[in-house]
Structure 1
Amino acid sequence: MKKLIYSALICCSILACKNSEEKKVEAENTVEVQEKENNELAYASYGEEISAEGAVDAEAIAEDYKKLKPGDTIATSFTSTVNAVCKMKGCWMDLEIPGDEDVSVKFKNYEFFVPKDIEGKEVVVEGKAFIQEVSVEDQKHYAKDAGKSEEEIQSITEPKHEFAFLANGVLLKK
């Protein structure tokens, strides 16, 4: 009886190891396929599926923002470099454009996030550009998320108008 139990345990162990090895190989093959597909596209995609085709550069979107008045929106897509990203969740990012201001990007319906370590990387965003007023409370919240010092956070004392963008999709250049 003991031999039968030991034999059954050994068989189960061998089958479990074999099954585990097959799953590992299958997972490795899946990752290779995904990497191959993403390398062909050269982008990682977040949110809705979008295309880099037709996206304007940072200079063109900066000119568009200069023409906007509070309440106006422009449906567009543009390419830029990430200057800052939320260190808590990746739930917002600031994109560089020529001039003194960045574009503050949030994500449609809070449905997706971007990686928290993408400063300096190129992205394509698609959505709506507009100008918004940001309260002192919200500015302090974003400063905290960005990892700013307590001194920098406390120096925020007035609401401000900023270039804003509500993205329905983001492509992160690899």
Structure 2
Amino acid sequence: MKNIFMALCLVFVIVSCKNNEEKKEVVETEVNEIAYVSFGEKIEAENALNVNEISEKYQNLAVGDTLQIKVLAKVNSVCQAKGCWMRLDLENDEEVMVKFKDYGFFMPKNIADRDVIINGKAYVTEVSVDEQRHYAEDAGKTEEEIAAITEPKRTLSFEADGVLLIEE
């Protein structure tokens, strides 16, 4: 009887010590982190409007109105003299002329066709003939193209206080 009791105790110990771990499935997700180079004030990439949204906002602005906003867009051109302005593509044959707050920072001259996130004030201006010619000269336009500028132009403008350049 003693042997039967010992056998039952041994079986009980073995059963109670059984490892009842549940199988856990580990799922790995790949996070695509985007790297940025920051210029001007520190800004975050979140909540940037796309070009369609900003185009809609500009349609509702009159000369003198301003709107604090953050935008993601592609760079069409940059000032080739110092990098003191850039033009962003709105994908509807319109561009946004971007200048930098208090000329506190400049952009690299070789970033055409790259994406940026800009933060600051969107507004509409009327640009004089002289100023248009100055920008055309900075952009490296020909003398014929510069001379063809004869009328003031309604311009979509932006004063950026911070820019994130998306690294490639």
TM-score tier by shorter-chain length is 0.7 to 0.9
Give the AA of the match of 2:66.
Answer: T
1:142-161 per-residue CA deviation (whole Å, 9 max, x = no partner) reads 00111111110110011111
- 1:127 pairs with 2:120: yes
2:136 paired residue among 143, 159, 171: 143
| Aligned match of 1:61 | 54
CA distance in 1, matches of 2:118, 2:158: 9
Aligned pair partner of 2:92 in 90, 99, 112: 99
Between the aligned partners of 2:51 and 2:93, the Cα distance in structure 1 is 13
Alignment partners' CA distance in 2, 1:78 and 1:129: 10
Deviation at 1:94, TM superposition (A): 0.2
RMSD: 0.9
How much has 1:132 moved relative to structure 2? 0.4
Alignment coverage as a number of residue pairs: 135
Q: Secondary structure at the match of 1:124?
A: strand
Paired AA for residue 123 in structure 1: V
Q: How does 1:18-97 map to 2 (within 5 A)?
A: 42-97=35-90
Structure 1 gaps, min length 5: 1-39
Residue 97 of structure 2 is aligned to residue 113 of structure 1: no
In terms of fraction of residues, the more helix-rich structure is 1
Structure 1 stretches of at least 4 aligned residues deviating more than 2 Å after TM superposition: none
Residue 62 of structure 1 contacts residue 98 of structure 1 at CA under 8 Å; is this kept in 2?
Answer: no
Kindly, what percent of the aligned residue pairs are identical?
A: 53
Which stretches in structure 2 are left out of the alignment for 5+ residues? 1-32
SS in 1 for 2:45: coil
Q: Distance in 2 between matches of 1:172 and 1:124?
A: 7
Residue 100 (structure 1) shift: 2.4
Quick check: 1:58–1:80 contact (8 Å CA) kept in 2? yes
User: Deviation at 1:98?
Assistant: 2.9
Letter in 1 for 2:40: G
- Per-residue CA deviations over 1:124-166 (Å, capped at 9, x if unaligned) read 0000000001111100000011111111011001111100000
Distance across 2 between alignment mates of 1:89 and 1:98 = 26
TM-score (norm 1): 0.76
| 1:89-114 Cα distance to aligned partner (Å, 9 max, x none) | 00000000032210000000010000
2-structure distance, mates of 1:80, 1:41: 15
Amino acid corresponding to residue 157 of structure 2 in structure 1: A
The offset of 1:41, in angstroms, is 5.3
Letter of the 2:147 counterpart: Q
Whole-Å Cα distance in 1 between the matches of residues 137 and 101 of structure 2? 22
Which of structures 1 and 2 has the bigger CA Rg?
A: 2
